[in-house]
Chains A and B, each alone.
Chain A
């Protein structure tokens, strides 16, 4: 009797483990599928939702957004805030990259495409709406005498070609490069904007947050790193690049070079669905732009 009891329990235990494992892996699969599917499913959603009755008060319906993974977190934040005031609206944000965002907007498979760069000449039929600007500051220790670097010097330092501060007009000392971890949006943007095809220097110290980069640079007179302009504070000194400080005005007027626009892309001359238009208006509104600043970006509106 006792043995039987034990045996049953054990079988039960194994079953539980197996089913839980299946559920967990199943969930993983579904999540991915859901994200990828969002872009392709959208056409069936949009036409029916576009005729929502009262756009003045609250809107309802689904907006599908796809594209740049750099813009994605900000779009999700904005979407969450928007859904908070418009209970019946759903904002679905998927990744895929800027290229996918352009294609999705062109083909209309998403209501709004996202791109973390300016449009290329051959990318026609869509209209960019700048929702935010991502500016990246190059930071050094406040005790470092260097004030100004050219983009090429910054590139040289982060690709490992320039190894000593004396090569860029500072006091002799080996440059300690502080880099972000693989997958970081700031790292991707910095690499794209400054290094181009060149890889990052492999010997760099890796820190995995803006705060940790600031700490590391603030601790070491020979260190150099980069942070989003929203993450600057007194513990580090932001360098001028090509003679321009990374201030809000300089970023807006585009004289500060290490920056990129965050674009929403919509079909050229195409009527947006009421809910999509309401979301775009919300993003460009004072409240939407406040969220942009809270996330460390520069506002797009003048």
Chain B
């Protein structure tokens, strides 16, 4: 009898613990939507989502510059970070000997542990200087003057690329290690070179794991706030959509919320929550894709 009761209590406690996560997501979701939706109703969904002007002082709340900024910076960060991360993973699995991996793996783990504000400082002092001397030097004649500040999408993307490396490396490392040994042995036995084996056999076999790694990297880049605020310039303007846009100062959605929450009046605050809704939807879509991919991989 006593033991049954104990069992029941433990079960209930564990259940409550497990559902805390669900509560939290629901609670945060409901809260963000309740706070943010009125802005969409008041100013029109298209005007808020696709409006080019963000000027809360005059009650103009267009989130479009932040949406474009977020997508642009995340895309560039993945473009830089994903091949690098995959390269490191392949190197560790296929080429590096014990001694070298014993240096690289702890370094990657350390990278994951560095607080984002430190990345931001590094970006502000080191990367920004390099980018601005590039902008004011060889590229000066191609760029408008406000694209020569060093605060740019590229600066932020470089910092984000470094920040997402651990995520991409760790998960694609697991995926590559899970590829059955026979694949590699079979390929080599057929006289295929090592490099060809890597990119024709190993990487394709680990494809779904690598894609998951990249998507989780996207999630990390989307959500990063502090480091981005410090290097992106936070100008709420849509960046140029050609290559010069790389050097444009921009503002991400997370930065928009964090920058202005401190002093926001009631309606301004709602507009920031509306930014949160868009971000929330982005993350939900991303997570759904990941879940789908993982499920498909499981079925295989």
Chain A residues near B (Cβ < 8 Å): 9, 13, 16-17, 20-21, 24-25, 28, 32, 163, 174, 176, 181-185, 202-208, 212, 215-216, 219-220, 223
A65 to chain B minimum Cβ distance, whole angstroms, is 19
Chain B residues near A (Cβ < 8 Å): 12, 15, 19, 22-23, 26-27, 30-31, 34-35, 55-57, 124-125, 128-129, 132, 145-146, 148-151, 229-230, 233-237, 249, 251, 258-260, 262-266, 268
Name the one of A25, A163, A220 contacting B150, with C-beta atoms under 8 angstroms: A220
Q: Given A17-B30, A202-B236, A205-B235, 20 other A-B contacts at CB below 8 A? A: A13-B23, A16-B23, A20-B23, A25-B31, A25-B34, A183-B56, A183-B263, A183-B265, A202-B235, A203-B235, A205-B151, A205-B234, A205-B249, A206-B235, A206-B236, A208-B234, A208-B260, A215-B124, A219-B125, A219-B129
B17 to chain A minimum Cβ distance, whole angstroms, is 12
Q: List 13 A-B contacts (CB under 8 A).
A: A13-B23, A17-B30, A21-B27, A24-B27, A181-B259, A181-B260, A181-B263, A183-B268, A184-B263, A203-B237, A205-B249, A207-B234, A223-B149
- A184 CB contacts on chain B under 8 angstroms: 263
- Verify B145–A208 contact, CB threshold 8 A: no
Considering the chains assembled together, what is the distance between the CA atoms of A20 and B24 in angstroms? 11
Given contacts A21-B34, A25-B34, A215-B124, contact A204 B129 (CB under 8 A): no
A178 to chain B minimum Cβ distance, whole angstroms, is 9
Considering the chains assembled together, what is the distance between the CA atoms of A154 and B255 in angstroms? 28
Considering the chains assembled together, what is the distance between the CA atoms of A294 and B19 in angstroms? 46
A165 to chain B minimum Cβ distance, whole angstroms, is 11
- B264 CB contacts on chain A under 8 angstroms: 183
Considering the chains assembled together, what is the distance between the CA atoms of A13 and B26 in angstroms? 11
- Verify B31–A182 contact, CB threshold 8 A: no
- Verify A183–B262 contact, CB threshold 8 A: yes
- B27 CB contacts on chain A under 8 angstroms: 17, 20-21, 24
Considering the chains assembled together, what is the distance between the CA atoms of A49 and B47 in angstroms? 51
Which applies to chain B's interface (DSSP): helix, strand, loop or mixed? helix
- B237 CB contacts on chain A under 8 angstroms: 202-203
- The residue in A205, A206, A212 that gathers the most chain B C-beta atoms within 10 A of its C-beta is A206
- A220 CB contacts on chain B under 8 angstroms: 132, 149-150
- Verify B259–A208 contact, CB threshold 8 A: yes
Considering the chains assembled together, what is the distance between the CA atoms of A9 and B236 in angstroms? 46
- Verify B146–A203 contact, CB threshold 8 A: yes
A-B Cβ contacts below 8 A, count: 87
- B229 CB contacts on chain A under 8 angstroms: 208
Considering the chains assembled together, what is the distance between the CA atoms of A16 and B195 in angstroms? 57
Considering the chains assembled together, what is the distance between the CA atoms of A151 and B22 in angstroms? 56
Given contacts A17-B27, A21-B27, A182-B56, contact A206 B230 (CB under 8 A): no
- Verify A219–B249 contact, CB threshold 8 A: no
Considering the chains assembled together, what is the distance between the CA atoms of A174 and B27 in angstroms? 48
The 9 closest A-B pairs by CB, nearest first: A183-B263, A206-B234, A203-B146, A174-B145, A205-B233, A181-B259, A208-B259, A21-B30, A182-B56
Considering the chains assembled together, what is the distance between the CA atoms of A28 and B260 in angstroms? 18
Considering the chains assembled together, what is the distance between the CA atoms of A32 and B34 in angstroms? 16
Considering the chains assembled together, what is the distance between the CA atoms of A181 and B259 in angstroms? 7
- Verify A206–B259 contact, CB threshold 8 A: yes
- A181 CB contacts on chain B under 8 angstroms: 234, 259-260, 263
Closest to A164 in B: B145
Given contacts A21-B30, A25-B34, A219-B124, contact A204 B260 (CB under 8 A): no
- A182 CB contacts on chain B under 8 angstroms: 55-57, 260, 268
A125 to chain B minimum Cβ distance, whole angstroms, is 29
Closest to B229 in A: A208
Given contacts A203-B235, A206-B251, contact A185 B26 (CB under 8 A): no
Considering the chains assembled together, what is the distance between the CA atoms of A17 and B29 in angstroms? 11
- B263 CB contacts on chain A under 8 angstroms: 181, 183-185
- The residue in B34, B146, B151, B266 that gathers the most chain A C-beta atoms within 10 A of its C-beta is B146
- Verify B15–A9 contact, CB threshold 8 A: yes
- A20 CB contacts on chain B under 8 angstroms: 23, 27
- A208 CB contacts on chain B under 8 angstroms: 229, 234, 258-260, 262
Considering the chains assembled together, what is the distance between the CA atoms of A206 and B228 in angstroms? 12
Considering the chains assembled together, what is the distance between the CA atoms of A25 and B270 in angstroms? 13
- B56 CB contacts on chain A under 8 angstroms: 182-183
- A28 CB contacts on chain B under 8 angstroms: 35
B54 to chain A minimum Cβ distance, whole angstroms, is 8
Considering the chains assembled together, what is the distance between the CA atoms of A206 and B35 in angstroms? 25
- Verify B145–A163 contact, CB threshold 8 A: yes
Considering the chains assembled together, what is the distance between the CA atoms of A25 and B26 in angstroms? 14
- A183 CB contacts on chain B under 8 angstroms: 56, 260, 262-265, 268
Closest to A176 in B: B149
A287 to chain B minimum Cβ distance, whole angstroms, is 27
- B150 CB contacts on chain A under 8 angstroms: 220
Closest to A181 in B: B259
- A202 CB contacts on chain B under 8 angstroms: 235-237
- Verify A212–B230 contact, CB threshold 8 A: yes
- B35 CB contacts on chain A under 8 angstroms: 25, 28
Considering the chains assembled together, what is the distance between the CA atoms of A215 and B117 in angstroms? 14
Considering the chains assembled together, what is the distance between the CA atoms of A181 and B272 in angstroms? 13
B264 to chain A minimum Cβ distance, whole angstroms, is 5
- B149 CB contacts on chain A under 8 angstroms: 176, 205, 220, 223
Considering the chains assembled together, what is the distance between the CA atoms of A20 and B262 in angstroms? 24
